[in-house]
Amino acid sequence: MLEVENLTKIYDGGTVAVKDLSFTVKDGEFLVIIGLSGSGKSTLLRCINRLIEPTEGRIIWDGVDITQLSGEELRKVRRHIGMIFQQFNLVKRSSVLTNVLSGRLGYVNPWRSAIGRFPKEDVEQALGCLDRVGILDQAYKRADELSGGQQQRVGIARALMQEPTLILADEPVASLDPATSHSILRYIEDLNRDEGVTVLCSLHFLSLARAYASRIIALKDGEMVFEGLPAEIDDARFKEIYGEEAIQVEIR
């Protein structure tokens, strides 16, 4: 279980990105966070694995306060939290396989990995992960030779290598076309359903959120404006979240 308590993040410039957020995510949930650009979705997700330092509040995961951890302990927690990014964040010049293997860095001997050596099991596991997302034949290509959808699948394979119990997905399909978006979200959905991985996923489009979420929270200017089931978001709620002038765009 993940508990976020009174989380606030104020950036150096004084921008309040997240304001006094509190919510709970049960194990095995597919929680979608919606909201406009700049509503604090990315900041929230990055506070959970401490890529961004929260200004105030606590994040408790399975009884451990992540905000109090440092060094080795923090890395031990991070390696169980997979993360998927809008821009895929692959090392473009490295091979697909190396990118996937980097998901294993929290587990392996740092000195061996420093000279690029990974245990044989890890290499096999990496190929297995690539097979699972359907791009095993691309393993030895450079990451930037792949299409956007394929690159995001590499991103998922990298997260899979961590054997995660929680996945943070920051706008995983915002750079992709609608058809590819669905295929990527289905991989995440499979992980959630078949292996019970808890998912926190931010999305732009309400239609995508409705299709995949087990629960939705909506942010506006860093504050929570909605929490509930996908079906509960009606036109009135929608305008509340996205503003009066917004029009719903369907992605099928």
Identified binder of another protein from the candidate list 16, 60, 77, 136, rule CB under 8 A: 77
> Which residues 42-71 are close enough to bind another protein by CB under 8 A?
49, 51
162 near another protein, judged by CB under 8 A: yes
Nearer to another protein, 32 or 168 (CB): 168
Nearer to another protein, 50 or 237 (CB): 50
35 near another protein, judged by CB under 8 A: no
Contact at 8 Å (CB) between 54 and 9?
yes
Residues 6+ apart with CB under 8 A from 36: 220, 241, 242, 243
Residue 19 burial (CB < 10 Å; 0-12/13-18/19+)?
Answer: middle
92 near another protein, judged by CB under 8 A: yes
Identified binder of another protein from the candidate list 55, 89, 207, 214, rule CB under 8 A: 89
Contact at 8 Å (CB) between 31 and 214?
yes
88 near another protein, judged by CB under 8 A: yes
214 near another protein, judged by CB under 8 A: no
Q: How far apart are CA 21 and CA 221, in angstroms?
A: 11
**138: Cα separation from own chain's centroid:** 23
> Which residues 138-157 are close enough to bind another protein by CB under 8 A?
155
Residues that bind another protein (CB under 8 A): 49, 51, 75-83, 85, 87-94, 98, 102-107, 110, 113-114, 116, 155, 158, 161-162, 168
